[in-house]
Structure 1
Amino acid sequence: MRPIRAACLGTTTALVALLACAPVEAAATDTGSAHAKGGHRVITLIGVLKEQTRFPVTPGGIPAAQGDRTVFRSDLLDQNRKKVGETGGTCTTTRAVDGGAEECTVTYTLPGGQLSAQGMVFGILTQGRPTTPPPPFDNAITGGTGKFDRARGQIHAETIAPNTRRFTIDLD
């Protein structure tokens, strides 16, 4: 598959002066498929957790075990705190020792299409319990639909407040 191609759009978010981004509104006004445009694009969004449910392998058992699942949904906001999409996915605990690890599959629904991402999140446990705040992580973009058809790249996530993460979507 060919990597995504899009015009490089750069602005500075009000939330992070150090990270360049392409506002979602600008991405939403592009015409045609992003992979046909050529170039590189970075989109920075804020995710606010709206729902999260944990499904332990052994209800009432140890606080984190291999095979536990988490299902979540967050609203995605632009730099002006306007809702522009949502993200949802599942994570499965693959390691319940040495800081823990989860394998996650996530879909980002944005204006003009969706992005799929997958990868590991390490350090999810502190002394056998979920960490607060969750550590930063990077996941691979595995594909997309609409304007994000054939998308490739990565998504960096970091916690910036309780139940709030900054997502830096780096499209190749």
Structure 2
Amino acid sequence: MLRTIRTLCALGVGLAAATALVAAAPASAQEDDFTLYAREVAGEEEEPQQLPRVGDSFTFADDLYEEKGGEKVGRDGVTCTVVRTGNPLDIQCLGTFVLSGGQITAQVLMTVPLTEEEQPPFDAAVTGGTDDYRGASGQIHFTDDGAYQKLDFDLSD
């Protein structure tokens, strides 16, 4: 189950990262579609845990890349809170992605099956941004891609 929760967090981060890359260009120069790759930054090792309870939360961070193994283009931080228990769980995640042109924010309510090794693909909403990303909106599609999370984003006009 811990792997499932970590996978969900990584996916959430990945979605937010993709959104951040799209918004990195000035609003007038933005394209509608971009892809980024997120790789989780090592944190403290977690011990095996009990099933989560409503209100439990966890955080994680990723480095963001335009291509796997490429140069780092940004970073993110994500906080997730369990809002419904059972199988599947519902987890509300909020992420902030930092790029050279500013910050992008995104959120998602993820449904997490406790019996699967990988999280199914999901979408997150882009909720705003700062500087070059001011007024950003749209969504990010997250999928597992080996050691990375692939973030395909579609920003609205």
TM-score by length of 2: 0.73
SS of residue in 2 equivalent to 1:121: strand
Deviation at 1:50, TM superposition (A): 0.7
Deviation at 1:71, TM superposition (A): 0.2
Q: Tell me what 1:90 maps to.
A: 79
TM-score by length of 1: 0.67
2:91 partner amino acid: E
1:13-24 pair list within 5 angstroms: none
1:43-54 pair list within 5 angstroms: 43-51=34-42
Asked whether the equivalents of residues 49 and 74 of structure 1 are also in contact (C-alpha less than 8 Å), the reply is yes
Asked whether the equivalents of residues 52 and 70 of structure 1 are also in contact (C-alpha less than 8 Å), the reply is no
Q: Tell me what 2:151 maps to.
A: 167
Distance 2:39 2:30 in 1: 29
Matched, 1:103 2:87: no
1:73 partner amino acid: A
Distance 1:171 1:85 in 2: 18
More relative contact order, 1 or 2 (CA 8 Å, 6+ apart) = 2
Larger Rg: 1
Deviation at 1:53, TM superposition (A): 6.2
In the alignment, which of 146, 161, 168 is matched to residue 131 of structure 2? Answer: 146
Q: CA RMSD of the aligned region, Å?
A: 2.9
Asked whether the equivalents of residues 54 and 68 of structure 1 are also in contact (C-alpha less than 8 Å), the reply is no
SS of residue in 2 equivalent to 1:84: strand
Distance 2:58 2:108 in 1: 14
Identity of aligned residues (%): 32
1:27-66 pair list within 5 angstroms: 30=25, 33-34=26-27, 37=28, 40-51=31-42, 62-66=50-54
Residue ranges of structure 2 left out of the alignment (5+ in a row)? 1-17
User: 71-80 or 59-68: which moved more?
Assistant: 59-68
Residue ranges of structure 1 left out of the alignment (5+ in a row)? 1-20
Distance 2:43 2:81 in 1: 13
Distance 1:161 1:64 in 2: 26
